[in-house]
Chain A
Amino acid sequence: MDINSPDFIARSKSALNDANLQTALQNLKAGFPSKRRKAMERMPEFDAMRDQAVVIKDKVIENLDFYLETFENKVHASGGHVHWAQTSDEACQTIVDICRSVNAKTVTKGKSMVTEEINLNEFLEKHNITPIETDLGEYILQLRGDHPSHIIAPAIHLNLPQVSDIFAEKHNLPRKEDPAELMQEARDIMRDHFIAADVGITGANFFVAETGSTMIVTNEGNGDLTQTLPKVHIVVTSIEKCVPTLEDLSLFMRLLSRSATGQESAVYNTLSSGPRQTGDQDGPEQFHVVLVDNGRSDMVGDEQQDMLRCIRCSACMNHCPVYSQIGGHAYGWVYPGPMGSVLTPKMIGIDQAGHLPNASTFCGKCEAVCPVRIPLPKLMRTWRERQFEQNLGSAANRWGIRFWSAMVKRPKLYHAMTRFTMPLMKLWAGKKNRLHSLPIGRGWTLWRDLPAPEGKTFMQQWQAQTKQPKQHTDKEMQP
C-alpha cells in the first residue's frame, strides 16, 4: 500500500466532509460496539479471560525464539516448509519464488493485512502473477483499485451503490442493486477463480506451536476455498501471532470473535497443518509458512513490546472516537485507529507517521476494550516522547510546551503571569463573558468560543484572604 500518512490532516479533513463515509462510519459506530457488549454480557468470564490472554501472550513473547523454532520443527515434520523474512521485500521475493516454482499464473488470496503491509499484490503483478482477492470486501476494493480502511471489514467505507457500480463496470454484467443479487454475482465469479488458482495465499490469525498449524478465522469461507483447492498453500504470517497449544488457541478463538464483531463465533475457524496427507483427495500438495518480521523482533524487550500481544480484532478502532469520525484511509497506511497509531510509525518511520500517535485525546477507550489489555495511549505517548527528543513534529508546539513548562517550574513567575493576563482576557471578552477569537491556539476559536476567565486568579484571592494580621486567631486558614 502507498504511504499517505504524512497527509493525515488533509485526509482527515476530507473524510469529515465526505457524506458517504460519514454515513458508513455511523453504521459502524451503531453496530460493532453494542454487539461486542452483548457478547460480553453472555460470557461473564470475559474479563478474566482477557487477563489470561495477557499471561499467555506475554509468555509467548518472552520465549518467542523457542516457540518459533518449535513451530518450524512441527511444520517440517508434517511435510511443510517454513521461510523466514526480515523485510517486506524478502517476504515478497520468497512468495514469488514459490509461485514461480509451480508456474503459477493466478493466486487466490484470503484476507491478510500482513500481505497489504508487505505490498504483496503489487510485487506479484510486477512478476506477471495475478493475485485475486477472494474476501468479498477485499475483492470489491481490488476492483476499484482501493485499499482497506478497517482491518476486519475492509470495505466498510463503501456504500451499496458504489458496489453496484464497480460490479457493473468490471463484470460486464447488468447493474444490480439488490445486495443478495450482488453477493450471488460475486459468488459465481469467484468460484471460477477458486478452482483455477495455482496457489492459494492466506494469512493466519494464529499459529500453534504445539502442532505446527495455522488458523484462519472467516465468515465467508473464502479462506477455506483458498487453502483447500490450489496445489500450493502459502500462509503469510507475522512472527508474533503464535499461541502455544490448542487449549490456548481456544481462549483466543473466544476472545477474537466477540471483540471483533460481537459474534459468538466466526462461521469458519480453520486449522491447517501441513500439506495433504496420504489418501486425501483434496488439499494442497505443498504447505509453506512465511514468517514475516518487518520490525517486530525489534519490539521484543522494547518499551513498546506490549503491542506484540495484538490479535488484530479491531475493537480499538471500533470504539475510538477519532477513528469513528475520520475512518481508516485518513491514517494513510495499512493499520488505522489506535493500533495503527502505534504500529505504523514502527514500520514506516515516525517521520512519516508523525501525526498518528498525536491525533488522539488519550481517552483510553481503546485500552478499555482491548482483549489483550494493550496500553495503547501509553504506547502512543512513547512515540510522542521520541518525536520530542528528535525534534520532530510541530516546532511551535514544542516551543509552546517548553514555554509552559518553564513558567510552571517557576511558581512565583507563573502566578505573576496569570495574575497579569487573566484580567486582560476578561476585559477583552467583555460583557459576553466569552472570547470569539484568540491570537494563539486558533484551533480553539475556529470552532468554539472560549469562556472568559473570572479575572482574579484563585491563588491571588486565596492569598489575599489568608493574609490576616498576626493578631487574628485560628481563623487564619479559613476565609
Chain B
Amino acid sequence: MSRSPYLQPSKNTLTQPKVALFVTCLADAMRPSVAFATVKLLQAAGCVVQVPASQTCCGQPAFNSGDRNNTRLIAQQTMAALEGYDYVVGPSGSCIGMLHQYPELFDETSKDFQTAQKLARQAYEITSFLVDVMDFKLAPNDTKAQVTYHDSCAGLRELDIHRQPRQLLAQMPNIELKEMQEADTCCGFGGTFCIKYPDISNRMVEHKADNANASQVQLLVGGDLGCLMNMAGKLKRQGSNLQTRHIVELLADALDLPALGEAHNTELRSASINLAYEG
C-alpha cells in the first residue's frame, strides 16, 4: 500500500496511442456504462481503444486472500492479454494498483518479472491517465450538480490519485465540488472484508454516509466501483436522496442510466437542480 515505484507518468507524445481498456470485473458485470464512458473519454483524448477479450480479473481477490499461486496464474494470464499496447487504462485505482503489484509476484530474474514491470509502467487509472499523460481537455458539458468526491484508498496511496479527478471536475462549469469531511478515509469496503467483518465495515460506511450526507450535495462520485457500490448501497438502505456515480459517467456525459441503485434517473441538466423524477 505504498506509492508504486512504477508510477512515473510522462506526457504522451504518440499521435494515436494504442490503449488497452482494462475493463475490471465490477464494471464488466455490474456497470458496463462505466467502461463505455471510459472508452468514450479515451477516444475523445485521441486514443485508439481495444478491449482484449481474454481479460477477466486483476487477481486482487486472490492476492488479498493469501492465494499467491492463483494470483500468479491470473497475473500471467492478464499480462498476456494486455501485451502489445502503448498504455493500459482502467476505471479503477484498486485494479490498476494491483497491476502495479504484479512484479512483486515474480522472481526478479524471471521473464514474467520483466513483463510485469513493463505492464506496470504502462498501466494507468483513467483520471490520472487523462490529466497526467494526455493533458486532456473535457468537451463542453453543461451538466449541473453539486458533487463530493470520495478518494478510494488504493488509488490515493498506490497511484497518487487525488488532484486529477478534481482537476477534471473543475473543467465542468456547472459542477460545484464540495469536499466532505474525511474524504480520504476508508469507506469500509476492503474486498472480502465487508463480508467477513460486516459489523465493522458497516460502522465505517455509516461514517462515510454521514459525511457524504453532511456535505449537502446531490451527487457522490468516486473512481472505484467497489467503494461506490458499498456507499450507494448504504445510502439507499438509509433512504438518503444522495446519488452515487462513477466519475467517468459525469465526465463523459454518460448519464442515461440511473445512478447506482436508483430506481429512476435524475435530470442533472436543467437550470435549477431538479430532483423531480422522470418517468
Contacts and interface: CB of A to CB of B under 8 A. Distances in A.
Interface string B59-79: 101111111101001100100
Contacts, number: 224
Q: Dominant SS at the B interface? A: helix
A459 B153 CA distance: 27
A433 interface: yes
B196 A397 contact: yes
Contact of B261 (A375, A383, A405, A449): A449
Contact of B195 (A375, A441, A456, A463): A441
B200 A456 contact: no
B214 interface: no
7 contacts: A361-B188, A367-B1, A376-B1, A414-B57, A453-B31, A457-B28, A458-B36
A409 B204 contact: no
B25 A444 contact: no
Nearest to B157: A364
A59 interface: no
Interface in A403-456: 404-405, 407-409, 411, 414-415, 418, 422, 431-434, 441-444, 446-454, 456
B110 interface: no
Contacts of B192: 397, 400-401
Contact of A13 (B29, B31, B64, B199): B199
A462 interface: yes
Given A9-B197, A321-B186, A408-B56, A386 B32 contact: no
Contacts of B262: 433
A388 B77 CA distance: 22
A393 to B, nearest CB: 9
A384 B63 CA distance: 9
Given A358-B196, A456-B32, A458-B36, A405 B66 contact: no
B44 to A, nearest CB: 11
A432 B70 contact: no
B70 A325 contact: no
B233 A450 contact: yes
Interface of A: 9, 12-13, 16, 321-322, 325-326, 358-365, 367-368, 373, 375-378, 381, 383-389, 394, 397-398, 400-402, 404-405, 407-409, 411, 414-415, 418, 422, 431-434, 441-444, 446-454, 456-459, 461-463, 466, 477-478
Interface string B155-176: 0011000000000000000000
A477 B49 contact: yes
B50 interface: yes
Given A16-B203, A361-B190, A411-B54, A367 B65 contact: no
A381 B63 CA distance: 8
A361 B153 contact: yes
Given A16-B203, A385-B66, A433-B262, 12 more contacts: A359-B193, A361-B189, A365-B185, A388-B65, A388-B66, A418-B29, A433-B258, A449-B233, A457-B29, A458-B32, A461-B32, A477-B48
Interface string B72-114: 0110010001000000000000000000000000000000000
- Which of B27, B190, B257 is packed against the most chain A CB atoms within 10 Å? B190
Contacts of B29: 418, 422, 453, 457
B153 A362 contact: yes
B236 A16 contact: no
A378 B97 CA distance: 14
A409 B190 contact: no
A325 to B, nearest CB: 5
Contacts of A409: 56, 70, 73-74, 77
A359 B32 contact: no
A362 B187 CA distance: 11
Contact of A448 (B33, B193, B233): B233
